Structure 1
Protein backbone atom coordinates (compact mmCIF):
# COMPACT_ATOMS: atom_id res chain seq x y z
CA UNK A 1 0.00 0.00 0.00
CA UNK A 2 1.42 3.39 -0.94
CA UNK A 3 2.34 5.88 1.78
CA UNK A 4 -0.71 7.86 2.88
CA UNK A 5 -3.17 5.48 1.21
CA UNK A 6 -5.99 4.06 3.31
CA UNK A 7 -6.75 0.38 3.31
CA UNK A 8 -10.16 -0.38 1.74
CA UNK A 9 -11.85 -1.35 5.03
CA UNK A 10 -10.80 1.89 6.68
CA UNK A 11 -12.05 3.89 3.69
CA UNK A 12 -15.43 2.11 3.77
CA UNK A 13 -15.71 2.65 7.53
CA UNK A 14 -14.91 6.36 7.14
CA UNK A 15 -17.48 6.80 4.33
CA UNK A 16 -20.09 5.07 6.47
CA UNK A 17 -19.17 7.19 9.50
CA UNK A 18 -19.51 10.35 7.39
CA UNK A 19 -22.89 9.17 6.06
CA UNK A 20 -24.09 8.56 9.63
CA UNK A 21 -23.11 12.12 10.56
CA UNK A 22 -24.93 13.52 7.51
CA UNK A 23 -28.00 11.45 8.36
CA UNK A 24 -27.99 12.83 11.90
CA UNK A 25 -28.04 16.29 10.27
CA UNK A 26 -31.15 15.33 8.26
CA UNK A 27 -29.57 14.43 4.90
CA UNK A 28 -31.95 11.80 3.43
CA UNK A 29 -29.48 10.81 0.71
CA UNK A 30 -27.18 9.58 3.48
CA UNK A 31 -29.80 6.99 4.45
CA UNK A 32 -29.71 5.59 0.91
CA UNK A 33 -25.92 5.32 1.10
CA UNK A 34 -26.06 3.61 4.51
CA UNK A 35 -28.76 1.22 3.28
CA UNK A 36 -26.73 0.25 0.19
CA UNK A 37 -23.62 -0.38 2.30
CA UNK A 38 -25.22 -2.31 5.17
CA UNK A 39 -28.45 -4.02 4.03
CA UNK A 40 -26.91 -7.40 3.24
CA UNK A 41 -25.14 -7.77 6.59
CA UNK A 42 -28.08 -6.46 8.63
CA UNK A 43 -30.57 -8.64 6.75
CA UNK A 44 -28.36 -11.66 7.51
CA UNK A 45 -28.44 -10.87 11.22
CA UNK A 46 -32.24 -10.45 11.23
CA UNK A 47 -32.77 -13.61 9.17
CA UNK A 48 -30.57 -15.77 11.42
CA UNK A 49 -32.51 -14.66 14.49
CA UNK A 50 -36.03 -14.72 13.02
CA UNK A 51 -35.66 -17.69 10.68
CA UNK A 52 -38.15 -16.25 8.17
CA UNK A 53 -37.40 -14.07 5.13
CA UNK A 54 -40.54 -11.89 5.42
CA UNK A 55 -40.00 -11.36 9.14
CA UNK A 56 -36.35 -10.46 8.53
CA UNK A 57 -37.38 -7.97 5.83
CA UNK A 58 -39.90 -6.39 8.23
CA UNK A 59 -37.29 -6.18 11.00
CA UNK A 60 -34.79 -4.66 8.58
CA UNK A 61 -37.34 -2.04 7.54
CA UNK A 62 -37.84 -1.23 11.24
CA UNK A 63 -34.08 -0.83 11.60
CA UNK A 64 -33.85 1.81 8.86
CA UNK A 65 -37.01 3.65 9.96
CA UNK A 66 -35.64 3.83 13.49
CA UNK A 67 -32.21 4.78 12.19
CA UNK A 68 -33.76 7.75 10.36
CA UNK A 69 -35.39 8.84 13.62
CA UNK A 70 -32.43 8.15 15.89
CA UNK A 71 -29.30 8.73 13.82
CA UNK A 72 -28.25 11.47 16.23
CA UNK A 73 -27.74 8.80 18.92
CA UNK A 74 -24.80 7.28 17.07
CA UNK A 75 -21.50 8.15 18.79
CA UNK A 76 -18.50 7.52 16.52
CA UNK A 77 -16.19 7.65 19.53
CA UNK A 78 -17.85 4.54 20.98
CA UNK A 79 -18.33 2.25 17.99
CA UNK A 80 -17.82 1.75 14.30
CA UNK A 81 -21.00 2.36 12.29
CA UNK A 82 -21.41 -1.29 11.27
CA UNK A 83 -21.01 -2.57 14.85
CA UNK A 84 -23.58 -0.08 16.09
CA UNK A 85 -25.99 -0.96 13.28
CA UNK A 86 -25.46 -4.72 13.78
CA UNK A 87 -26.33 -4.38 17.47
CA UNK A 88 -29.34 -2.26 16.51
CA UNK A 89 -30.52 -4.91 13.99
CA UNK A 90 -30.03 -7.78 16.44
CA UNK A 91 -31.97 -5.97 19.14
CA UNK A 92 -34.78 -5.13 16.70
CA UNK A 93 -35.07 -8.80 15.64
CA UNK A 94 -35.06 -10.00 19.25
CA UNK A 95 -37.72 -7.40 20.12
CA UNK A 96 -39.92 -8.89 17.38
CA UNK A 97 -39.51 -12.34 18.90
CA UNK A 98 -40.27 -11.15 22.42
CA UNK A 99 -43.34 -9.10 21.51
CA UNK A 100 -44.87 -11.96 19.55
CA UNK A 101 -44.96 -10.09 16.23
CA UNK A 102 -43.34 -13.01 14.43
CA UNK A 103 -45.86 -15.02 12.41
CA UNK A 104 -43.95 -18.28 12.31
CA UNK A 105 -40.76 -19.98 11.24
CA UNK A 106 -38.69 -18.23 13.89
CA UNK A 107 -36.60 -19.76 16.59
CA UNK A 108 -38.56 -20.25 19.84
CA UNK A 109 -38.59 -17.10 21.94
CA UNK A 110 -36.92 -18.99 24.82
CA UNK A 111 -33.85 -19.36 22.62
CA UNK A 112 -33.71 -15.61 22.04
CA UNK A 113 -33.64 -14.83 25.74
CA UNK A 114 -29.88 -15.43 26.09
CA UNK A 115 -29.27 -12.83 23.38
CA UNK A 116 -28.11 -9.41 24.54
CA UNK A 117 -30.74 -6.69 24.65
CA UNK A 118 -30.55 -2.90 25.07
CA UNK A 119 -26.76 -2.41 25.04
CA UNK A 120 -25.78 -5.47 27.02
CA UNK A 121 -22.46 -5.84 28.77
CA UNK A 122 -20.92 -8.18 26.19
CA UNK A 123 -21.88 -5.99 23.24
CA UNK A 124 -20.77 -2.88 25.08
CA UNK A 125 -17.44 -4.55 25.69
CA UNK A 126 -17.03 -5.49 22.02
CA UNK A 127 -18.32 -2.23 20.58
CA UNK A 128 -16.37 0.04 22.94
CA UNK A 129 -13.16 -1.89 22.38
CA UNK A 130 -13.43 -1.61 18.61
CA UNK A 131 -12.62 2.10 18.66
CA UNK A 132 -8.94 1.27 19.04
CA UNK A 133 -9.05 -2.03 17.09
CA UNK A 134 -7.67 -3.84 20.12
CA UNK A 135 -10.61 -6.25 20.11
CA UNK A 136 -9.30 -7.97 16.98
CA UNK A 137 -5.89 -8.48 18.54
CA UNK A 138 -7.48 -9.90 21.69
CA UNK A 139 -9.82 -12.19 19.75
CA UNK A 140 -6.84 -13.50 17.77
CA UNK A 141 -5.27 -14.49 21.12
CA UNK A 142 -8.14 -16.86 21.93
CA UNK A 143 -8.19 -20.51 20.95
CA UNK A 144 -9.72 -21.09 17.48
CA UNK A 145 -13.01 -22.59 18.77
CA UNK A 146 -13.63 -19.68 21.14
CA UNK A 147 -12.82 -17.21 18.36
CA UNK A 148 -15.39 -18.89 16.12
CA UNK A 149 -18.12 -18.87 18.79
CA UNK A 150 -17.56 -15.24 19.81
CA UNK A 151 -17.43 -14.04 16.21
CA UNK A 152 -20.58 -16.04 15.45
CA UNK A 153 -22.49 -14.60 18.40
CA UNK A 154 -21.36 -10.98 18.25
CA UNK A 155 -20.40 -10.28 14.65
CA UNK A 156 -22.54 -12.70 12.64
CA UNK A 157 -25.77 -12.62 14.66
CA UNK A 158 -26.06 -16.32 15.57
CA UNK A 159 -27.98 -17.19 18.73
CA UNK A 160 -26.29 -19.22 21.43
CA UNK A 161 -28.70 -22.06 20.61
CA UNK A 162 -27.65 -22.02 16.94
CA UNK A 163 -23.99 -22.04 17.89
CA UNK A 164 -24.58 -24.94 20.31
CA UNK A 165 -26.34 -26.89 17.58
CA UNK A 166 -23.55 -26.22 15.08
CA UNK A 167 -20.93 -27.36 17.61
CA UNK A 168 -23.11 -30.31 18.72
CA UNK A 169 -22.93 -29.35 22.41
CA UNK A 170 -25.60 -28.49 25.01
CA UNK A 171 -26.77 -24.85 25.16
CA UNK A 172 -25.35 -24.45 28.68
CA UNK A 173 -21.93 -25.56 27.48
CA UNK A 174 -21.95 -23.00 24.66
CA UNK A 175 -22.98 -20.24 27.10
CA UNK A 176 -20.10 -21.23 29.40
CA UNK A 177 -17.58 -21.25 26.54
CA UNK A 178 -18.66 -17.82 25.37
CA UNK A 179 -18.75 -16.42 28.91
CA UNK A 180 -15.19 -17.68 29.56
CA UNK A 181 -14.07 -16.29 26.20
CA UNK A 182 -15.57 -12.90 27.02
CA UNK A 183 -13.81 -12.92 30.40
CA UNK A 184 -10.50 -13.53 28.61
CA UNK A 185 -11.33 -10.74 26.16
CA UNK A 186 -12.11 -8.37 29.00
CA UNK A 187 -8.80 -9.19 30.71
CA UNK A 188 -6.91 -8.62 27.45
CA UNK A 189 -8.72 -5.33 26.75
CA UNK A 190 -8.23 -4.04 30.29
CA UNK A 191 -4.55 -4.89 30.10
CA UNK A 192 -4.20 -3.03 26.80
CA UNK A 193 -6.02 0.02 28.19
CA UNK A 194 -3.79 0.04 31.27
CA UNK A 195 -0.60 -0.02 29.19
Structure 2
Protein backbone atom coordinates (compact mmCIF):
# COMPACT_ATOMS: atom_id res chain seq x y z
CA UNK A 1 0.00 0.00 0.00
CA UNK A 2 1.35 3.40 -0.96
CA UNK A 3 1.67 6.15 1.57
CA UNK A 4 -0.22 9.41 1.50
CA UNK A 5 2.95 11.33 0.76
CA UNK A 6 3.78 9.05 -2.19
CA UNK A 7 0.34 9.54 -3.69
CA UNK A 8 0.57 13.31 -3.17
CA UNK A 9 3.99 13.30 -4.83
CA UNK A 10 2.62 11.39 -7.83
CA UNK A 11 -0.31 13.78 -8.16
CA UNK A 12 2.13 16.68 -8.16
CA UNK A 13 4.26 14.97 -10.80
CA UNK A 14 1.14 14.26 -12.89
CA UNK A 15 0.29 17.97 -12.80
CA UNK A 16 3.61 18.48 -14.57
CA UNK A 17 2.75 15.83 -17.19
CA UNK A 18 4.77 12.94 -15.75
CA UNK A 19 3.38 9.73 -17.28
CA UNK A 20 5.40 7.50 -14.96
CA UNK A 21 3.69 9.15 -11.98
CA UNK A 22 0.33 8.48 -13.62
CA UNK A 23 1.29 4.83 -14.04
CA UNK A 24 2.35 4.63 -10.39
CA UNK A 25 -0.85 6.22 -9.11
CA UNK A 26 -2.93 3.95 -11.33
CA UNK A 27 -1.16 0.85 -10.03
CA UNK A 28 -1.52 1.97 -6.42
CA UNK A 29 -5.15 3.10 -6.47
CA UNK A 30 -7.07 1.55 -9.37
CA UNK A 31 -8.29 -1.50 -7.42
CA UNK A 32 -9.74 0.62 -4.62
CA UNK A 33 -11.30 3.13 -7.02
CA UNK A 34 -12.75 0.29 -9.09
CA UNK A 35 -14.38 -1.10 -5.93
CA UNK A 36 -15.98 2.28 -5.19
CA UNK A 37 -17.31 2.64 -8.73
CA UNK A 38 -18.51 -0.96 -8.89
CA UNK A 39 -20.48 -0.57 -5.65
CA UNK A 40 -22.29 2.43 -7.12
CA UNK A 41 -22.98 1.03 -10.59
CA UNK A 42 -23.39 -2.71 -9.88
CA UNK A 43 -22.15 -3.44 -13.41
CA UNK A 44 -18.56 -4.56 -13.95
CA UNK A 45 -18.30 -3.49 -17.60
CA UNK A 46 -19.77 -0.08 -16.92
CA UNK A 47 -17.57 0.32 -13.85
CA UNK A 48 -14.48 -0.35 -15.96
CA UNK A 49 -15.54 2.36 -18.43
CA UNK A 50 -16.23 4.83 -15.64
CA UNK A 51 -12.91 4.06 -13.95
CA UNK A 52 -11.11 4.85 -17.20
CA UNK A 53 -13.02 8.14 -17.49
CA UNK A 54 -12.18 8.93 -13.87
CA UNK A 55 -8.47 8.43 -14.47
CA UNK A 56 -8.64 10.70 -17.51
CA UNK A 57 -10.23 13.33 -15.30
CA UNK A 58 -7.59 12.74 -12.59
CA UNK A 59 -4.84 13.24 -15.19
CA UNK A 60 -6.42 16.43 -16.51
CA UNK A 61 -7.15 17.88 -13.08
CA UNK A 62 -4.02 16.87 -11.17
CA UNK A 63 -3.00 20.53 -10.97
CA UNK A 64 -6.20 21.30 -9.03
CA UNK A 65 -5.38 19.00 -6.11
CA UNK A 66 -4.84 21.00 -2.91
CA UNK A 67 -2.68 18.91 -0.58
CA UNK A 68 -3.74 20.51 2.69
CA UNK A 69 -7.45 20.47 1.97
CA UNK A 70 -8.13 16.74 1.43
CA UNK A 71 -6.16 13.54 1.65
CA UNK A 72 -5.13 12.35 -1.80
CA UNK A 73 -7.27 9.20 -1.56
CA UNK A 74 -10.30 11.28 -0.61
CA UNK A 75 -9.72 13.44 -3.69
CA UNK A 76 -9.28 10.42 -5.98
CA UNK A 77 -12.31 8.61 -4.55
CA UNK A 78 -14.45 11.74 -4.91
CA UNK A 79 -13.56 12.00 -8.61
CA UNK A 80 -14.33 8.31 -9.23
CA UNK A 81 -17.54 8.44 -7.19
CA UNK A 82 -18.77 11.58 -8.95
CA UNK A 83 -17.99 10.04 -12.34
CA UNK A 84 -20.10 6.99 -11.42
CA UNK A 85 -22.96 9.16 -10.20
CA UNK A 86 -22.80 11.17 -13.43
CA UNK A 87 -23.12 7.90 -15.34
CA UNK A 88 -26.23 6.96 -13.37
CA UNK A 89 -27.75 10.39 -13.99
CA UNK A 90 -27.06 10.08 -17.70
CA UNK A 91 -29.17 6.91 -17.79
CA UNK A 92 -32.37 8.74 -16.92
CA UNK A 93 -34.12 10.16 -19.96
CA UNK A 94 -34.88 13.87 -19.89
CA UNK A 95 -38.39 14.98 -20.71
CA UNK A 96 -40.24 18.27 -20.81
CA UNK A 97 -43.71 16.81 -20.71
CA UNK A 98 -45.05 16.09 -17.23
CA UNK A 99 -47.10 13.09 -18.40
CA UNK A 100 -43.89 11.46 -19.69
CA UNK A 101 -41.95 12.16 -16.50
CA UNK A 102 -41.27 9.45 -13.94
CA UNK A 103 -39.62 9.30 -10.54
CA UNK A 104 -41.33 12.46 -9.36
CA UNK A 105 -41.53 11.21 -5.80
CA UNK A 106 -38.68 12.12 -3.51
CA UNK A 107 -36.53 9.00 -3.13
CA UNK A 108 -34.87 10.22 0.06
CA UNK A 109 -35.87 8.49 3.28
CA UNK A 110 -38.66 10.15 5.20
CA UNK A 111 -38.37 11.63 8.70
CA UNK A 112 -39.29 8.35 10.40
CA UNK A 113 -36.70 6.37 8.43
CA UNK A 114 -34.08 9.04 9.12
CA UNK A 115 -34.81 8.91 12.85
CA UNK A 116 -34.57 5.11 12.89
CA UNK A 117 -31.30 5.23 10.92
CA UNK A 118 -29.87 7.84 13.30
CA UNK A 119 -30.85 5.69 16.29
CA UNK A 120 -29.22 2.62 14.73
CA UNK A 121 -26.12 4.66 13.95
CA UNK A 122 -25.86 5.71 17.62
CA UNK A 123 -26.23 2.07 18.72
CA UNK A 124 -23.51 0.94 16.32
CA UNK A 125 -21.20 3.80 17.34
CA UNK A 126 -21.78 2.90 20.99
CA UNK A 127 -20.92 -0.73 20.35
CA UNK A 128 -17.83 0.26 18.33
CA UNK A 129 -16.84 2.37 21.33
CA UNK A 130 -16.72 -0.79 23.46
CA UNK A 131 -13.98 -2.24 21.22
CA UNK A 132 -10.27 -1.42 21.52
CA UNK A 133 -9.40 1.64 19.44
CA UNK A 134 -7.28 -0.37 17.00
CA UNK A 135 -9.95 -3.01 16.48
CA UNK A 136 -12.70 -0.42 16.08
CA UNK A 137 -10.50 1.39 13.56
CA UNK A 138 -9.96 -1.87 11.68
CA UNK A 139 -13.71 -2.54 11.55
CA UNK A 140 -14.40 0.99 10.29
CA UNK A 141 -11.61 0.67 7.74
CA UNK A 142 -12.84 -2.67 6.43
CA UNK A 143 -16.58 -2.12 6.40
CA UNK A 144 -17.03 1.62 6.02
CA UNK A 145 -13.99 2.64 4.01
CA UNK A 146 -13.47 -0.55 1.99
CA UNK A 147 -9.85 -1.31 2.91
CA UNK A 148 -8.64 -4.85 2.22
CA UNK A 149 -7.22 -7.19 4.87
CA UNK A 150 -3.75 -6.57 3.47
CA UNK A 151 -4.12 -2.78 3.62
CA UNK A 152 -5.41 -2.91 7.19
CA UNK A 153 -2.70 -5.34 8.27
CA UNK A 154 -0.04 -3.01 6.87
CA UNK A 155 -1.66 0.02 8.52
CA UNK A 156 -1.87 -1.62 11.95
CA UNK A 157 1.45 -3.44 11.48
CA UNK A 158 0.06 -6.92 12.15
CA UNK A 159 0.02 -10.11 10.04
CA UNK A 160 -2.92 -10.56 7.65
CA UNK A 161 -4.26 -13.56 9.59
CA UNK A 162 -4.19 -11.52 12.79
CA UNK A 163 -6.22 -8.82 11.04
CA UNK A 164 -8.76 -11.42 9.91
CA UNK A 165 -9.02 -12.66 13.51
CA UNK A 166 -9.42 -9.11 14.82
CA UNK A 167 -12.25 -8.44 12.40
CA UNK A 168 -14.03 -11.74 13.02
CA UNK A 169 -13.88 -11.37 16.80
CA UNK A 170 -14.83 -7.70 16.63
CA UNK A 171 -17.88 -8.49 14.51
CA UNK A 172 -18.93 -11.16 17.00
CA UNK A 173 -18.62 -8.61 19.85
CA UNK A 174 -20.60 -6.07 17.83
CA UNK A 175 -23.34 -8.60 17.19
CA UNK A 176 -23.53 -9.43 20.91
CA UNK A 177 -23.68 -5.75 21.77
CA UNK A 178 -26.39 -5.00 19.21
CA UNK A 179 -28.52 -7.93 20.39
CA UNK A 180 -28.60 -6.61 23.98
Structure 2 counterpart of 1:76, from 67, 70, 95: 67
Aligned-residue offset at 1:142: 3.5
Aligned partners of 2:41, 2:19: CA distance in 1, in Å? Answer: 28
What's the secondary structure of 1:56's corresponding residue? helix
2:126 is matched with which residue?
Answer: 143
For 1:1-195, list aligned pairs within 5 A.
12-100=3-91, 142-144=125-127, 155-156=145-146
**Structure 1 moving runs of 4+ over 6 Å:** 145-151
Q: Give the TM-score normalised by structure 2.
A: 0.53
What's the secondary structure of 2:85's corresponding residue? helix
Aligned-residue offset at 1:61: 0.1
Classify 1:150/1:95 alpha carbon distance in 2 versus 1 (closer, same or farther; 3 Å). farther
Aligned partners of 2:140, 2:13: CA distance in 1, in Å? Answer: 35
Q: Does the aligned pair in 1 maintain the 2:54–2:79 contact within 8 Å?
A: yes
What's the secondary structure of 1:143's corresponding residue? helix
Q: Give the TM-score normalised by structure 1.
A: 0.49
Aligned partners of 1:75, 1:144: CA distance in 2, in Å? Answer: 36
Classify 1:152/1:89 alpha carbon distance in 2 versus 1 (closer, same or farther; 3 Å). farther
* Structure 2 gap segments, 5+ residues each: 93-102, 109-123, 130-135, 147-180
CA-to-partner distance for each residue in 1:154-192, whole Å, 9 max, x for gaps? x34xxxxxxxxxxxxxxxxxxxxxxxxxxxxxxxxxxxx
Aligned-residue offset at 1:145: 6.7
The two structures, once aligned, show a CA RMSD in angstroms of 3.1
Aligned residues: 111
Aligned partners of 2:55, 2:140: CA distance in 1, in Å? Answer: 28
Q: Does the aligned pair in 1 maintain the 2:57–2:79 contact within 8 Å?
A: no
